[in-house]
Amino acid sequence: MFDFDDTLVDTAPGKQEAYRRVARLIHSEADGNVSPEELIKQISRISEEMNRRRAYSRDEWWRILAREHGLSVTKHLELRATVAYWTSFRQHTQLYPDTLTVLKAIKAHGIPLGVVTDTDGWVGIKRWRLRTSPIF
């Protein structure tokens, strides 16, 4: 059994690009004077805090960000930010260099394989990420 994120795939590039994309989107559409660079730092901090609490709803992340910085973030912008986040995250998440080699070697020995993972906070997102991964 393997975990998916940060075991089979390296999510760091996906997270960084997702943070940048959401920061640019919120900066360009929300009322406020916070720079995209500052928003990236804050999104990263919120991500760490929420992950420790196992609170995975990205919509909630944007509400926290808005509250902390006095930004005007509508439900529509929350939705667009979450879609932008997961799209960027998926596009920029990469397999670790030896992932396929290790999985093929295990399978060649007749050992059953499985993936155990948590939620991404939106119904169907993790399933989509798994299905569109080169692993499956």
pLDDT in tens, 64-106: 999 999 898 899 999 999 999 999 999 999 999 999 999 999 9
| Cα–Cα distance for residue pair 120/24, rounded to 1 Å | 22
pLDDT tens per residue across span 35-72: 999 999 999 999 999 999 999 899 999 999 999 998 98
| Cα–Cα distance for residue pair 75/59, rounded to 1 Å | 8
Q: List the structure tokens of 109.
A: 């020995």
Quick one: pLDDT band at residue 30, thresholds 50, 70, 90?
Answer: confident
Q: What is the pTM of this model?
A: 0.90
Is residue 100 within 8 Å of residue 134, measured between CB atoms? Answer: yes
Does the structure show a pLDDT above 90 at 130? yes
Burial class for 51, CB neighbours closer than 10 Å (0-12, 13-18, 19+): exposed
Query: In the predicted model, what is the mean pLDDT of residues 10-32?
Result: 93
Task: Compute the 3-state secondary structure of the chain and give helix, strand, coil in percent, each to the nearest 5.
Answer: 60, 5, 35
CA of 20: how far to CAs of 9, 32, 43, 51, 81, in Å?
20, 17, 9, 19, 11
Give the mean pLDDT of the chain: 93
120 compared with 31, residue with greater pLDDT: 120
Is residue 55 within 8 Å of residue 46, measured between CB atoms? Answer: no
